[in-house]
Amino acid sequence: MRKLLAILFVIILFSCQENKEQLNLTEGVYISNVTIISTEDGTYSPYIGHLVVEKDKIVYVGKDEPSISGTFEQIDGTGKFIIPGLIDSHVHLPGVQGMLPNHIEKYPELATKFKSQMPRSYLYYGFTTLIDLGGIYEEDITSFNMEKAKPDLYHIGYSGAAVANGYPMNNIPIEYRFEALPNFIYMESQAENIPDKYDPTNHTPKAVVKRIKNSGAIAVKAYYESGFGHMKGLPLPTKDIMEELLTEAHSNGLVLTVHANSFEGHSFLTDIGVDIISHGLWNWEEYKDVPSDSLPIEIKNMLDLQIKKQIGYTPTLTVIEGEKALVDTEFLNQPGLKKVVPKNLLEWYKTEEAQWFGKKIFSELTVEEIHTMYDNVQGHAMLALKYLSDNNGLILFGSDTPSGPIYSNQPGHNGNWELKLMKEAGVSLNKILASATFNNAKAFHLDSSLGSLAIGKKANIIMMAKNPLTDIEAYDAIEKVVIGGKVIKREDLEVKE
Ligand SMILES: [Zn+2]
């Protein structure tokens, strides 16, 4: 009997030890006793637990204290919160905020400082993954990746699949635009305005998507934009073109994300069933004068269809707010900007020379007129977003940084502003966090490695002093950023001069 008990005891002991995680680390990070906030389905059940990283991967996450040996850094997470690194699914990295090529030529040192700080600025505000939706060349990717601390970068290839002479090609002088957007779509109706050297067979949706795929892209970007401001009546993709882009994107394992912010554009894309619309719905066209607290039935019906089809909706509220900020004399004095914009560049933004874009788009308007105009548009954008949020629409976080040549959409800072505007629109904090982590990862097929705190996923983790499910200020209370297993203190990401 005694012998039997002894054996039983050994078995129990053995099985206990087996349950306890045995982790032998070589380059580990152990975050202990921390509130873990992550989701695999959009619902949150935070708990106090432990997370272990080995090299660039999460190897343990759970309530039980793991048993660890080897080489690791321990971080006491008592009273702190961790979330997966934030994903901004709509940014533009090339260029310098607010500067034209001639400004960059005139002030090369401002541009150089901006470029080298930019990756850290995104990390400073918790953005560990960026998806460039504007087209990016190898040299920009290389120079971004040369910085020691930088977010993970994904892109849509050298250019979006714009229709010939349509948006955004129309912004570029005709002699450069075809070279600038090598993935343009040939349309017979534009044949006379396309140089002869371009072979139509290289510019079908099929050929274009193949090229985009081969350039290492994760998504195809297309556009449905008839014009805004002074531009009107731009060529638009036909239904056949958009459907073919969708089919080709899917057969190449890519996601189709399409620029549109008008009722017509959202309706067109919703009927087709594209994967993602890369802007919110703020241009209500014939409904533009309805009060911004009432949703016309036609718009509601269209949003219902978006919800039913679970089309990704990217609010990009800072597009409107950023333009409006060009007439806000206090904007550039925000303490949060000093952390991420090099000092001399911030000073330049305050000069007369840097006001060129505001002058161009606002010309004779008074500040009051500008506020009325933008507040009306933003009111509509927020109402559409709130409706989607209340009715289980698929919201994807994207800031469109920068949405134009404006200094008011700064790296990281703008995404942080976007999070706050979503809150202002009435989106719950749970949904805001999901939109910037789990939803984005899933929608862009990055969820095998990103978007949640789970074993096997990449160790992109944000540690905060406040709870992001109860306090939007948590995004301003980031203390540490872990990127690919490397722990960085937030203050080390700030502008140094
Ligand atoms: Zn954009």
- DSSP output for 473-490: GGGG-EEEEEETTEEEEG
| Residue-by-residue DSSP string for 224-265 | -----TT--------HHHHHHHHHHHHHTT-EEEEE--BHHH
Query: What's the token pair of residue 247?
Result: 């089919």
Q: Is the dihedral of CA 373, 375, 377, 379 positive or negative?
A: negative
In the predicted structure, residue 2 carries a pLDDT above the cut 70:
no
279 C-alpha to ligand 1 centroid (Å): 8
Strands 127-132 and 152-155: parallel
Q: How far is the CA of 432 from the centre of ligand 1 (A)?
A: 20
Which residues lie across from 62 on neighbouring strands?
A: 50
Which amino acid makes up residue 79? G
Reported confidence tier of residue 20, pLDDT bands at 50, 70, 90? low
Residue 90 C-alpha to ligand 1 middle, in angstroms? 6
Ligand 1: centre distance to CA 260 (Å): 10
Output the CA 319–ligand 1 centroid distance in Å.
9
Which residues, other chains included, contact 107 with Cβ-Cβ below 8 Å and sequence gap of 6+?
99, 348
Closest to 396 in 3D by CA, of 292, 302, 303, 315? 315
CA–chain centroid gap for 370, Å, is 27
> b vs e for 127-143, b when ≥16 Cβ sit within 10 Å of the residue's Cβ?
bbbbbbbbbbeeebbee
Tokens of 22: 């045995």
- The whole-number pLDDT of residue 8 equals 47
Q: From the CA of 404, how far away is ligand 1's center (Å)?
A: 8
Give the residue carrying structure tokens 């067979």: 201
Cα(327) to centroid(ligand 1), Å: 21
Element (H, E) at 121: helix 108-124
Token duo for residue 15: 């099985």
* CA–CA distance, 427 with 443 (Å, rounded to integer): 19
Domains of the chain: 2-84+453-493 (2.30.40.10), 86-443 (3.20.20.140)
Question: What separation in Å is there between the alpha carbon of 475 and the centre of ligand 1?
Answer: 23
CA of residue 259 to ligand 1 center, whole Å? 8
Q: Distance from the CA of 278 to the center of ligand 1, in angstroms?
A: 8
How close is the Cα of 35 to the center of ligand 1, in Å? 35
Spell out the residues 6+ positions from residue 275 whose beta carbon is closer than 8 angstroms to its own: 246, 249, 255, 256, 257, 311, 312, 443
Model confidence pLDDT, tens digit, residues 151-201:
999 999 999 999 999 999 999 999 999 999 999 999 999 999 999 999 999
**Spacing, Cα 185 to ligand 1 middle (Å):** 19
The confidence score (pLDDT) of residue 315 equals 98
Q: Identify whether the C-beta of residue 87 lies closer than 8 Å to the C-beta of residue 451.
A: yes
Percent of the chain with pLDDT over 70: 96
Query: If you measure from the C-alpha of residue 134 to the centroid of ligand 1, how many angstroms do you get, rounded to a whole number?
Result: 6
Distance 280 CA to ligand 1 centre (A): 12
Query: What does the pLDDT read at residue 21?
Result: 60
Cα angle 131, 136, 142; round to 5: 95
Q: Which two tokens stand for residue 232?
A: 């009107």
Q: Calculate how far, in angstroms, residue 92's C-alpha sits from the geometric centre of ligand 1.
A: 6
pLDDT in tens, 330-377: 999 999 999 999 999 999 999 999 999 999 999 889 999 999 999 999
From first CA to last CA, the distance across the chain in angstroms is: 76
CA of 91 to the centre of ligand 1 (A): 6
Residue 405 Cα to ligand 1 midpoint, Å, equals: 11
| DSSP per-residue string spanning 415-462 | HHHHHHHHHHHT--HHHHHHHHTHHHHHHTT-TTTSSS--TTSB--EE
What phi and psi values does residue 224 have, to the nearest 5 degrees?
A: -130, 95
CA of 323 to the centre of ligand 1 (A): 14
Mean per-residue pLDDT of the chain: 94
Angstrom distance (rounded) from CA 401 to CA 462 = 21
**Is the confidence at residue 230, as pLDDT, over 80?**
no
Question: Ligand 1 centroid vs 400 CA: distance in angstroms?
Answer: 5
Give the span between the Cα atoms of 196 and 191, in whole angstroms: 9
What tokens does 409 get?
């959409």
* Mean pLDDT within 418-435: 98
Residue 357 identity (one-letter amino acid):
F
How far is the centre of ligand 1, averaged over its atoms, from the C-alpha of 136 (Å)?
Answer: 12
> How far, in Å, from the CA of 227 to the mean position of ligand 1?
15
Q: Find the range with the poorest average confidence among 26-40, 221-235, 255-269.
A: 221-235
Residue 394 in this model has a pLDDT that exceeds 70? yes
pLDDT at position 16 over 50: no
Centre of ligand 1 to C-alpha 103, Å, is 22
| Ligand 1 centroid to residue 456 C-alpha, Å | 32
CA of 496 from ligand 1 middle (Å) equals 29
Vertex 383 angle, CA 377 and 384, to 5°: 95
Query: Which candidate, 497, 479, 496, places its Cα nearest to that of 488?
Result: 479
By C-alpha distance, which of 57, 137, 103 is closest to 348? 103
CA–CA distance, 459 with 20 (Å, rounded to integer): 22
The percent of residues above 90 in pLDDT, for the chain, comes to 92
Compute the distance from residue 133 Cα to the ligand 1 centre, in Å. Answer: 6
Q: Using CA atoms, how far apart are residues 402 and 98, in angstroms rounded to an integer? A: 9
CA of residue 58 to ligand 1 center, whole Å: 32
Q: Average pLDDT of 326-330?
A: 94
